[in-house]
Amino acid sequence: MIKEHVKASSSVWWVSILKKYLMGLTGLGLALFVLLHMLGNLFIFAGDKAYNLYMHQMVNMEASSIIQVGLLSAFLLHIILAFILSVKNYFSRLKKYARAASGWKATAWYQKGLIAQGAVILVFVILHLITFKFGVHYKINYGNEEIRDLFRLVVEAFQNPITVVWYIVALLVLFIHLFHGLSSSFQSLGLNHPRFNKSIKGISLVYAVLVTVGYISLPLYVFLFMQEGAG
């Protein structure tokens, strides 16, 4: 009886460790995606041809490879695990209140705010995909090749001040999520020695600042300095 109980609680422990690892790993994978996506989008500053040809190459590469499947799986797994962890956290908080007198304290490895930030980012990504990935398919010719004119779509989208403000707000939420989420990811992957705490915080902060400044520069630049139809 005791043996079975120990066996059951050790498998619960393993499942919980696995969930934390997967949450950390998918978080790091997504953080890498947002960095690469931001760097690619900086081609906007080089004009329509550079941007469209780069995006064309990326879309072709992604379509014919496992990147697309990997990205989608990481997104879904990250969201599902976040949901499971937040439900679990909710119930442990209920237990905590029931046992308030015992002085027991529920300290989740991830902050509560991460879930709310994640929800904003999810809404952002869905609207973003509708606008760009599944948006109007303008075409443009370079030599004898006709490709999608994503540059025109991006410039068009960021003429609207409401879109620009929404992007800035969502990107600031992404900043907080990246900063806190990266630190949590490193910790759940084992880097939780107090000696590393400061460096992990520092690296996460620099990473989040770079990604956010890079992204925010795009809608701002387009809105302030580019007219629709300009190339």
The footprint of ligand HEM (CB under 6 A) covers 34, 37, 41, 55, 59, 62, 68, 71, 121, 125, 128-129, 132-133, 150, 154, 167, 174, 215, 218-219
Spatial separation of the C-alpha atoms in residues 181 and 197, rounded to whole Å: 14
Q: Which residues pair with 148 in a beta bridge?
A: 139
| Residue 21 vs 132, nearer CB to ligand HEM | 132
Residue with the shortest CB distance to ligand HEM: 132
Enter the tokens of residue 183.
């630190």
Query: Closest approach of Cβ 221 to ligand HEM, in Å?
Result: 10
Task: State in angstroms the smallest separation of the CB of 145 from ligand HEM.
Answer: 17
What is the radius of gyration, based on Cα positions, of the chain? 22
CB of 54 vs ligand HEM, minimal distance in Å: 10
- Evaluate whether 132 touches 155 at the Cβ level (below 8 Å): no
Interhelix angle for 150-157 vs 48-63, to 10°?
A: 110
Q: How far is the CB of 21 from ligand HEM (least distance, A)?
A: 22
Whichever of 76 and 106 has its CB closer to ligand HEM, that residue is 76
Q: Which is nearer to ligand HEM, 41 or 204 (CB)?
A: 41
Nearest residue (CB) to ligand HEM, 71 versus 108:
71
Which residue reads 């905590």 in tokens? 96
Shortest spacing between CB 151 and ligand HEM, in angstroms = 8
Contact between 218 and 41 (Cβ < 8 Å): yes
Longest CA pairwise span in the chain (Å) = 76
